[in-house]
Every structure is written in structure tokens, then in C-alpha cells.
Structure 1
Amino acid sequence: MRKTLIEELEENGYVIFEDFLLPEEVDEIRNAGQNLCLEAPKESRTVFSTVNCNNNQNKEKYFIESGDKVRYFFEEGALDDKGDLVVKPENALNKVGHSLHTDHDIFRKYTFSHRVREVCWQLGFKRPAVPQSMYIYKNPGVGGEVIPHQDGTFLYTEPVSTIGFWIALNDATVQNGCLQFIKGSHKSGVHRRYIRNPDATSNDLLTYDRPPPIYPASNFTPVPVEKGTCILIHSQVVHRSDQNKSNKERHAYTFHVIETDGVAYSEENWLQPSPGTSFPILYE
């Protein structure tokens, strides 16, 4: 007999849902992601140009303001000093975020689907909201490493409530950079926070409140999955992914859900709803 979702999540810090999406549904999302590559506005590249001396601050401002927009984030080395592409458009993007779930019909359909609502209901959510979403490319040979982190570092709530939905749009293997987890690490709390810098005199708009912890590589368990699989990710479980060194893409669509009933979303978090608005409620 399979354990309940809550029991599985509390045991390992993640839950694997095979066949969460049908093949044709995966194709629809992946095609939408491919189209985003071709639609990326040229002006978005200038933010990542190394010519501008305020480059880092411009990047942070671009990032902070992406919460209610569809914005494009490029792979390191995809642009030259002038912001011109040096790779094919389909290989240039690292990710697109962070409002696909509200501003794009295809991603909105799958984020607010009956399946997602059912999972959240089984997890005990009363009034879940979706603060952000991302299309992650992890392209062949250029898809960058994602360092060990916890989602709660970026989307902190009290009490803990954040759950990530990570949907594989290709087979995710060790070779192309599947997710890797430290099982049980969610039981050790949030190790550090990524927040809006309280120091108004600093050039850094965003900052970490503590140095990065060191996690031995041997502690991580690779979790290869087939396309259409959804991995539920506890906000405190430590996870990472290697660079894609293969010749196969590893696209994924991911979004996060938080509880809003009796739960406080930190005002220090980098991502904040636009003034006068709130994050969209999943059940409405």
C-alpha cells in the first residue's frame, strides 16, 4: 500500500509522480517553451551585456521586476559583449520566468489544472497560491549547473508551506542533468535566506543572509525520471543538478505553491507581489 503524499514527502523531502502528464501534454508545453526562445525580445539581451559597468545591479533589477512578467534569462556565454547572440536562439536561454502561470495560456492551463489542485488538496492546502513559475531549458552542452539549494531559501514562509512542482519535459538522466537530492535534508530547517538587501547604501539589491553551507557530493542521490513525470519538492530539501554535458536537452516546467491560510509569506523574500495585488489562488 502506497503511503500518503504527506507521509512520502515527510520521509524523503520529495515525491515522484510518474505519468503526471500525457505525452501530448508534454509536447504542448515543450512546444510553448521552444516558441519562447524565438520570441525573446532583443532588448532583454542588453541586461546581460558586459559593457555596462552597472551590469550586476541591472541584472538584479531585471530579476526583481520579473515576478509579474515573462522575462528571459540567458545562458552564460550565449551573448557577446554587445548583447548579440553567439549561439542559436533555441540554445541561448537558461530559463524564462516568473509569471508564465498567469501570463501564458498554455502554462496557466497546466498550472491551474485539476491534477495540481488534487495534489494540493491531498497535501492539506486550504488556500494555496502560486507565486512563481519557470521554464528551464538545460540545453545540450550548455545547460549550466544548478548549485545545491533549498527552495525555502528563496520563497520563505512561516510556518513552512512551499512546495515545488517540477515537471520533466524530456527524459531526465544523470548524463543530461537530472535532479539530485539529499534525502531527509528537509528536516534540518532552512539553511540560509536570499532576501532584498536591507542595506540601502549597498550596490547589491539582493543578498544572502549567511554563507553557503558545504554539502558533500556523496550525500546526493540522482533521481532520473521519464518525461511527463512530476517531482514534488519540499521547501527545505537540498537539491541540485549537474551541467548538461550530453547531446540531449533536459527541459522542465516548474512552479511553486504556498499556503496563504494562516501562513505568512516573508516580506524579505526577493519575490513580492506587485503593489495592490496578491499571488493567484489555485482553487479559485
Structure 2
Amino acid sequence: MDTLSEEEVKQYQEDGYLTLEGFLDPEECDKLRERMSEIVDEMDVPGYCRIQFTTQHDEQLKSQGSADYFITSGDKIRFFFEKGVFDEKGEFIVPRERSLNKIGHALHAHEPLYKNVTHSQKMQNVAKKLGLRCPVILQSMYIFKQPGIGGEVTPHQDATFLYTEPLGRVMGVWIALEDATQENGCLWFIPGSHKNGITRRMVRTPKGTFPLTDFVGRERDYDDKLFIPAPVKKGGVVLIHGEVVHRSAQNTSDHSRHVYTFHIMDSQDTQWSHENWLQPTQELPFPPLYT
């Protein structure tokens, strides 16, 4: 695929998400995975930062050190782990490549292979077709969804964590580096739910207080029957409106579900909330998508 058809644009606007096969070639997926294996082999994580990523999309930030590690990760490459992968001394009890939930949040800035995918002409063409005038990259993540232990991600909206005024200016780009199936934890969506606004926000707490983030409001209760699965083959992409409700189940299979994902904001006439956990820095302002 080189861009979107008019029918695909309309489907994205109506449903709040769009699945497209063949965004990357299998060889491109393999190179991204190979580079990630090298990053994992080389990772050095302080003991106090060996924190877990929970099913509520919040870090278990039980110390000032681990809280700082998360909230200052927007311009860095940092490591977040699954439950039960460390002993009481913080040592790995599983192979380190099987320990990770995700790596974030600035692969797009520091890793050339990931930067090239993020700023590819294909991605620029998609954004232009969707009418994004001045898109910038907010963050990027590599998500592992480990076999057998890859945690559930409960129903949520990305705008809860990446809030803008007006709403509707953020889009997630979710690239499957392996087949994403119902068995290994593909995404599920409530079509059209991006039209109902949000009821919960993750915000920074006042300076000098702990914990460093908190939630305002609460998530709606969702009828499980409304969710539709969105399986996608290796190399496919899912475009995710910032307000569409989505989730993924625990991976109980013996196959991983590796994904490279990043978020884009159309910055023209948009205000990025100073209360968001993620903030641009002097070292890494949000880089423009179009080159």
C-alpha cells in the first residue's frame, strides 16, 4: 500500500480505526525485530527501575526512582517489564528477552531503523490522505506481548493519556511485526466509539508531590459484546483514532505478538496539555512527521 483510498478514509472516520495489510514487507519486520533483540541484549536497567506495566495502563511506581524513570522516558529508550519476571532481589527469573512488556518512548528519535519506518513516505502519504496538516511524533513503543504471560490491556482511549484541545488530534499507528491473532492478543475495538468523548484523564500531579501522576474521572463501563476483533498479519498496520475504545486480551498462546507503535498529533491549531505525563523536552521537541 502507498496511500489510502477514499473508501478507507471514510471507514477510518466512521469506525475510528482502520486495518491495512502490507504496510511493511516481511523483511522490514524482521530487521526491526533483529535490532530490538540487540537492544534487549545490551540493556542495563538499575534495580529500582525494574518496574512492571500493569493491566490498568499505569506503571507500578512504588518509589521516587521508578516514578522518575517512567515520567522522564519521553525522550529516551527505557524498559518496562511484565509481572513476575524478577525475584525479591530484582534479578531476572526468566530469560531477559521474555521479561519485557514494552520499550519506550523515543525509539523514533534514537534508533535509525525505527525512525525510517516512522517517517517513511508511506506514513507521510497516509497522514496527508487523512488531512493531517502539521503532524508531529509524540512517542513510540515496542510492545512484546510475551507468549503465555503477555498481559491484558483493559478497555481504554489513547486520549486519556495523550490529551489535546480540541480532542481528535491524535492517531496511533500500530504495526504488527508478527501475525496478531485472537489467540495471541490482537486488538479489539468498539466501532464508532470515538464520537463519544472521554471520561478519564491521566494527569501530572502538582510539582513536589508523590505519586507523580493520577487519574481524573473514571472509565466508562463497556458492553463486551460491542468489541470487534482486528487481527492483522505480519507487516500490517492498524490506524487508531485517539478516542476510539480498544483493548487486547492476555496472550495465553505460545506465540509472541511483537508490535512497533507510535502516536502522531496534528499540531496545527492544537494545544498539547501541560498536564499530560508526556512532555516535549529541549533535547527532543516533538519532531515533525513530514520531511
- TM-score range normalised by the length of the shorter chain: over 0.9
Instruction: Confirm or deny: 8 A CA contact 2:199 2:218 kept in the other structure.
Output: no
Contact 1:5 1:122 in 2 (8 A): no
Q: Distance in 2 between matches of 1:92 and 1:282?
A: 32
Aligned counterpart for 1:17 among listed residues 15, 20, 38: 20
Aligned to 2:251: 244
Q: Deviations along 1:232-276, whole A, 9 cap, x unmatched?
A: 000000001111100001000000100111111111111001147
Alpha-carbon displacement from aligned partner over 1:48-99 (angstroms, at most 9, x marks no partner): 369xxx8244332211100000000011111112211010111011000000
Check whether the contact 1:5–1:123 (CA below 8 A) recurs between aligned residues.
Answer: no
- Which residue is 2:173 aligned to? 165
Normalising by structure 1, report the TM-score.
0.93
Alignment RMSD (CA, Å)? 1.8
TM-score normalised by L of structure 2: 0.91
SS at 1:59 equivalent:
helix
Kindly provide the amino acid, as one letter, of the partner of residue 170 in structure 1.
Answer: E
Q: Cα offset for 1:277?
A: 5.2
2:188 aligned with 1:180, yes or no? yes
Indicate the SS of the match to 1:25.
Answer: helix
Q: Distance in 2 between matches of 1:20 and 1:276?
A: 30
Q: Distance in 2 between matches of 1:3 and 1:124?
A: 12
Give the corresponding residue for 2:57.
none
The Cα shift of 1:222 comes to 1.3
Instruction: Report SS of the residue matched to 1:186.
Output: helix
Report % sequence identity.
Answer: 45
Name segments (4+ residues, structure 1) moved above 6 Å.
Answer: none
CA 1:16–1:154 in 2, change beyond 3 Å: closer, same or farther? Answer: same
The verdict on how the C-alpha distance between 1:6 and 1:266 changes in structure 2, with shifts beyond 3 A counting, is farther
State the distance in 2 between where 1:49 and 1:74 align.
6
CA distance in structure 1 between the partners assigned to 2:118 and 2:284 by the alignment = 19
Equivalent-residue separation in structure 2 for 1:219 and 1:33 (angstroms)? 35
2:45 and 2:79 in contact (8 A); partners too: no
Name the SS of the counterpart of 1:67 in structure 2. coil
Which amino acid in the other structure matches residue 24 of structure 1?
E
Deviation at 1:211, TM superposition (A): 2.2
Q: For this pair of structures, how many residues does the alignment match?
A: 279
